[in-house]
Amino acid sequence: MFHNRYVHPGNMIVAVSGDFDRDNLLMKLENAFSDWPIGETGPTTFPAPKYTPQPGVYMIDKPGVNQGRVSIGHRSVVRGSPDEFALQIMNGILGGAGFRSRLFARVRSDEGLAYNTGSRFHQGVYYPEDFICWFQSKNNSCAYAAKIVLDEIRRLREEPVSEKDVQDAIAYFVESFPQRFPNKMAILETYVDDEYTGRDPNYWQTYLDNLRKVTPEDVRRVARKYVHPDQLVILAVGDADAIFKGGYDKAPDLTFAAFGPVKRLPPRDPDTLKRR
């Protein structure tokens, strides 16, 4: 039943990359698959998650771990938004452009609180996915680092970004663009995925030009429209007692309670994902 409905030529994409005669190859493919009947038509949409994340502060306890992993974020948007490229540059400025991003500069370079920090604003194909900022830091400095991240999120909404901020983020994505297509297989996979998900065939041909059109005003506008501090979920995983009490020397009185009531969550079973 499942096989007949989903595994048949009507649901299949065959992609070929290499040195070949196009007409001859098409004829061979037609001959190879001509006897395979088209099955039932399966659904073309996917159900969106029914769960709505509740804003708040959450902890998952892993006693004895000397560092905490912290994620801060909320739902994002669906791919294809007219603000797609402005959102990409906005996220680049915040934490998605490596060494050039604000989170990297403040959390790692200025404060030395983490080796790795960043953000993503993932625009989902079928439903909104996530806007996430993250870092990993020593237990006693997690609260201080979280405050910096929250400050930078609010700053993105409340203060104009500079032309240099925008151009630095654009340069990062322009310079890293070839890494999306390092070999023929990567090119093939990208275009197969785009065909399957219905992306504009000219998307990558116009990608860099669309990035270069983004202005500081665009970034400020989308930050105010799509970034919502009141909807943030703050999740810390590690030694909950040590993370909660803080005690970092630059902010000795700052604890996770400063961000709101803390709810402790039991860890999930790695096999079943059920709460223990």
Rounded alpha-carbon distances, angstroms, from residue 206 to 163, 172, 201, 202, 212: 22, 17, 10, 6, 10
Task: Write the pLDDT tens digit of every residue in 196-214.
Answer: 899 999 999 999 999 999 9
pLDDT band, very low/low/confident/very high, at 43 (cuts 50, 70, 90):
low
Domain ranges of the chain: 2-33, 56-265
**pLDDT at residue 41 in the model:** 65
- In three-state secondary structure terms, 130 is strand
Q: Which residues pair with 118 in a beta bridge?
A: 134
**Mean pLDDT rounded to a whole number for the chain:** 93
Average pLDDT over residues 52-80: 95
What does CATH list as the number for 56-265? 3.30.830.10
Q: What is the pLDDT of residue 222?
A: 98
CA separation for the pair 47, 44 (Å, rounded) = 10
User: 126-178, pLDDT tens digit by residue?
Assistant: 999 999 999 999 999 999 999 999 999 999 999 999 999 999 999 999 999 99
pLDDT score of 39 more than 80: no
Average pLDDT over residues 83-94: 98
The residues that bridge with 263 in the sheet, in sequence order, are 58
C-alpha to C-alpha distance for 47 and 49, rounded to whole angstroms: 7
What does the pLDDT read at residue 51? 84
In this predicted structure, the answer to whether residue 97 has a pLDDT above a threshold of 70 is: yes
